[in-house]
Structure 1
Amino acid sequence: MKKSWNEKWFGHVTVIIKGRLIEPFLNQAVREGIEIWDVKRINEQKIECAIMLRDVKALKPLLKKTECRVHFKDRYGLPFVLQRLMSRSGIVIGILLAFAIIFILSNMVWAININGADPKVEQEIQSILKKKHIHVGSLEFLLPSLNSIETELSSQLNKVTWVGVSKHGTTYRIDVVQKELPKKEKETGPRDLVATKEGTIQRVYVEKGQSMVEPDQVVQKGDTLVSGTIGKTEDPGFVSAKGKVIAETWYHSTTEVPLDTSYQTYTGSTYTKHQLTLFGWDAPLWGLKSKPFDKYKKEVNRKKLHFLFWDLPISYKKTEYREYDKTSRPLTETEALTIGKTDAKNHLLAGLPEGSKVINEKVRTKRIKDGKLMLTIFFTVHEDIAEPRSFLPKERKKEIEKKNEEEEESQ
């Protein structure tokens, strides 16, 4: 017979069969499905062969029938290896402990590198990470995801404009871009300050240049507010005009507010599942409920497990369920009006220069359509309407000379 393909896994033995009826023994064994191979005749009443370990018990009745005896010569395969190992329990325990230690060390955070932060910000980052249990020695698969860490750091660090978190092996790398102090303004050439839009002048603050407008004066877009030309008309000087010109401007906005709104509120109840994933199959460790709440949002955090430099086909999966209630809230027309005015005002100010103020608001039209309050609102705003516009001194001198000549001719 041919050698069995699984003999190494299930084990086989080499035996010596002795007796007068060797051939009947072999024929009967084949008829009963006993796998025998590598048959070698030693003499007329003795043969050597290999038999699967699972078929050894089936030999006993055959040996009685054929008046043969068996002698076990060698043993091969995984069952015998395990048997020998179990007889040496100290070695087995040592090997298992070694693998366990290597596995833990392979999934442990060995270093956290913070780049681009000054000592004070670095200390703040370390404090935040410590509260999230992220430190040297923590197990990587129990930590939050990289996106969660980035979000947590970005929300708590006021002196930072950008935070990036990455992982390289057992090392976490945190790159930080801090907010820079305002740079000194570069020296610019001669320029005027002109109006960006129509408005009525309220206040003028001039640091450099000469004011060309007065309070309550109506200006159009492009009018000169602060001139970069100073001194006498016969011998003018030129500077880079600087200042603020606050004017009253006007806007209208349309907005709509649903009269029946629904929103979600978290109850504070959470449920966490811990699982091991092997080749796409999830094995539960803790938390067996399939649907812990009627209404919930879940967040899945999956971490690969490592052994030395290799990624294992096993990952740790943590699923967190957060219960919420869905509530419907009807609004009265007065409540919807207040919300609409506030939203429209905030939206308007978001697109205006810093320091702009709404000094008056008036609802022009309001109507209810399809369950929504439709509003048209008129706003009066005080804002800085000045923006710089460069000019060439030579051309400005020509304009002044031409103006002087025209004044002389008219006299």
Structure 2
Amino acid sequence: MSAVVWTAAASLAAWLWLLLGQGFFWRTDLRLPPRREPDTWPSVCVVVPARDEAAVLPQSLPSLLAQDYPGQAEIFLVDDGSSDGTGTLARALADRHGGLPLTVGSPGEPPPGWTGKLWAVRHGISLAHTRGPRYLLLTDADIAHEPDSLRELVAAAETAGFDLVSQMARLRVASMWERLVVPAFVYFFAQLYPFRWIAKEGSRTAAAAGGCVLLSAAAAERAGIPDSIRHAVIDDVTLARAVKRSGGRIWLGLAERVDSVRPYPGLGDLWRMVSRSAYAQLRHHPLVLLGTVLGLALIYLVPPVALFAGLATDRAVPAVLGGLAWLVMTATYIPMLRYYRQTLWLAPLLPFTAFLYLLMTVDSAVQHYRGRGAAWKGRTYARPDPTPDQR
């Protein structure tokens, strides 16, 4: 048997494992767990870090102000050194729309060792602590919530006893490149962090989606949030790990009524969104990068190459193996395309999208070694020193 046949067989075996042994990551039916309304609604403070968000704030902030929450709730928007009048606009929107009380604060520039977002979150949590809330809703400035979003999140946490309940907001899918890249982004995330494993007792898998995280104040204090994760570029996953490591119960699923309004119309916009943190996801380790590139090639690129190579050379075995692997890949991607209400003809294009992600990951490493890694909104974050639990 040739190397092509062995490689195609390995790819098919990998896809059969992913289909059945990776927590059924491809299923998209995991929504908020069963819940009932509590007798007494706990108090909640909403913390919104915002840096140069004037373009999206008119679509997102009114949805928070309009939350239909029976208990006490208040919003703390933290203007993280914006140059576009984000804080002033937030106050004007609150005056115009009314609703939940809004406080706008500003923490100043982050000190060394802190990312700007987490420094803003720290300031927001400090402001919130004066109200003594039971829960904190950490949500990004580009996230729009339906009026019952906060009510449903709190009901889910109270019913099941979760310390952290997170929903992955439905990202905007409007342009051609968004249709090609965005559903795959969520698909790959679920493949890395199968949602069903996250809430499972005894599982080490932990992740959250930073756009919508309901966190109990007690769990935040136990886990030392945000100080214990102050350096994290991928702050949502790091936050979930810290909460789970400190004994907290966490849950993550897909959202139906929580949406991101931030546009990524061109390939360059999506490229920067992915590449700014891809190498950080690999812990800035060259060998992990190499393994990731080889793994992506084996899983996503080998199937079409084996199929077309087999057809071109009249060799049935690699063509069949590659075709079967590509078929399984395509079938697992269809549920995500349906969730995003996209045409199913995009499913066979997943190898091309995966190749783009491979290039974005390599570019992330290149930018890191050029001193431009993890750049976002005028700030660049160097590789942090490892914390004691990472050594």
TM-score by length of 1: 0.16
Q: Which is bigger in relative contact order (C-alpha 8 A, separation at least 6)?
A: 2
The structure carrying a bigger strand percent of its residues is 1
TM-score by length of 2: 0.17
The structure carrying a bigger helix percent of its residues is 2
Q: Compare CA radii of gyration and give the structure with the larger one.
A: 1
